[in-house]
Amino acid sequence: MTNPYYAKAIEFLRTHDLAAMEPGKHVIDGDNLWVNIVDSKLKTPTEARLEVHDKYIDIQVPLSGPECFGVKARCECTRPVGEMNPDKDILFYADPVECIVSVRPGEDITFAPETAHAPLIGEGMIHKAIFKVKAI
C-alpha cells in the first residue's frame, strides 16, 4: 500500500523552493505531514547519535551544502539511551556510527521507522529541510 502522506511530501518537495522557506515548522497536512526548515551545526561521526522514530518517516534534504548520515538497521542497534520519547517520537542509541552516506544539496534521503540514522555529520553549519511523514 502506498503511503498518501509520503506521496504528498514528495510532491511538495518537487514543487516548492525549500531553500527560500523561512526557518521553522510548516504544516502541510496537520499531524500527518509537515516540514521543519532548520539551521544546524554539523558534527563529527563520533559526536553524531543514531536515532529512530516509531510514528513518522523522515525525509531529510540538505539545502546549503552536503550532509552525511550514519545509517544502521534498527534491529542491529543494541545500546538504547533511555526509552522512546512518545511525545517527540524519538529514541537515541549509543551504538557507533559505522556506515555513512553522503547526500548533496537538493537531494533527499528517507528513513523509515526500521532504519536508525545519525544526521548532521560534516563540518560547519547546514540549512536543511526535515519532512515528518506519518507512517501508516
Which three cell numbers mark 28? 502541510
Whether the Cβ atoms of residue 10 and residue 96 lie closer than 8 Å to each other: no
The pLDDT value recorded for residue 91 is 98
> What pLDDT is stored for residue 115 in this prediction?
98
pLDDT of residue 1: 65
Q: How high is the pLDDT of residue 114?
A: 97
- What secondary structure letter does DSSP report for 76? G
Q: What is the pLDDT, as a whole number, of residue 60?
A: 98
Distance of CA 33 to CAs 15, 21, 133, Å?
A: 16, 16, 5
Q: In the chain, where does DSSP find H-type helix?
A: 4-15
Return the DSSP state at 114. T
Among candidate residues 29, 38, 1, the one with its CA nearest the CA of residue 134 = 29
The tens-digit pLDDT sequence of the chain (136 residues) is 689 999 999 999 999 999 999 999 999 999 999 999 999 999 999 999 999 999 999 999 999 999 999 999 999 999 999 999 999 999 999 999 999 999 999 999 999 999 999 999 999 999 999 999 999 9
Write the single-letter amino acid at 27. V
Dihedral sign for Cα atoms in the order 83, 130, 119, 40? negative
